[in-house]
Amino acid sequence: MTRLSGKVALISGTGGGQGRVAALRFAREGTTVVGCDAFVEGHEETKRLLRAEGFELYGAAPVDLGDPMQAQAWIENAAAEHGQIDIFYNNASSAKFAPIAEMSIEDWRSTMRNEIDLIFYTTKYAWKYLVQRKGVVINISSTAAWGGSKIAGIAAHSAAKGAVVSFTRQLAVEGAPVGIRAVSISLGFVTTPGTRAFMENPAARKALLDGVLMDRPGESDEIVAMALFVASDESSFMTGSDIVIDGGLLAI
């Protein structure tokens, strides 16, 4: 028996990157995975990869979780089809980057919508189902929540990800009396299909890895391994924590 057998996990952003890796690894641990993504093609490719291993990816695409009605529909459909929600993995996000003086109001609001608002919407609508199962919420944040960067342009991203960490702590406070745990994971730079090009550019690589003690980016598998631990009963005494996985960036 695998460590998450019989559980239902909702994972956002399963169309690629860390979300795709999470869908595969959670399925291998016995979880019924319900995903969603803004892009149909990526969602279908992840579905194909799971089926190749004998698993199924449920859920839908396209889904815009920044729209509260679409967020609610994704969750309600999952609960109706599978009867429970045990794990809620808020992975999906999207940010705009620009120096403060140059950032447009529209880009600021877009970042708030797609990095913190969507986490509120999904968690709000999933809460009653998580109460029934004494479930777990996993929110993906960033080291940008904990410090500034010499790379200009992350102000909105920093503000949103700082909010994710604080929001997670409050979820833990409100969740403890009803058996819900909530943990955030703050990432350093992680290689995904969308970020790999930066690592192939020597100047960009140097800038992004400045201060990273391990002198390399993280890998999606390394992040998902922690998420699996948080989702399992092995971490049953953990809630309200922010786990930093950054190759030592914040150690200096």
Q: What is the pLDDT of residues 52-67, one digit of tens each?
A: 999 999 999 999 999 9
Q: What is the pLDDT of residues 156-176, one digit of tens each?
A: 999 999 999 999 999 999 999
For range 201-228, the mean pLDDT: 93
Per-residue pLDDT for 13 more than 80? yes
pLDDT of residue 2: 85
Token couple for 201: 């550019």
DSSP designation for 249: G
Q: Across the chain, what does the average pLDDT equal? A: 96
- Residues with Cβ within 8 Å of residue 58, at least 6 apart in sequence: 32, 33, 34, 35, 78, 81, 82
Percent of the chain with pLDDT over 90: 88
Nearest to 143 by CA among 176, 180, 188: 188
For range 33-46, the mean pLDDT: 97
Per-residue pLDDT for 250 more than 90? yes
User: Considering the entire predicted model, what is its pTM?
Assistant: 0.96
> Domains in the chain and their CATH numbers?
8-242 (3.40.50.720)
Q: How many CB atoms lie within 10 A of CB 148?
A: 10
User: Which of the four pLDDT bands, split at 50, 70 and 90, describes residue 198?
Assistant: confident
Helix (H) or strand (E) holding 165: helix 155-175
CA–CA dist 127, 180 (Å, integer): 9
Torsion of CA 8, 180, 233, 117, to 10 degrees: 60
Token couple for 73: 């529909």
Are 40 and 61 contacting, i.e. CB atoms less than 8 angstroms apart? yes
Helix (H) or strand (E) holding 190: strand 190-191
Per-residue pLDDT for 232 more than 90? yes
pLDDT of residue 1: 62
Q: What is the pLDDT of residues 95-148, one digit of tens each?
A: 999 999 999 999 999 999 999 999 999 999 999 999 999 999 999 999 999 988
Dihedral angle sign, alpha carbons of residues 63, 121, 125, 173: positive
pLDDT of residue 158: 96
For range 84-89, the mean pLDDT: 98
Are 44 and 34 contacting, i.e. CB atoms less than 8 angstroms apart? no
Are 48 and 27 contacting, i.e. CB atoms less than 8 angstroms apart? no
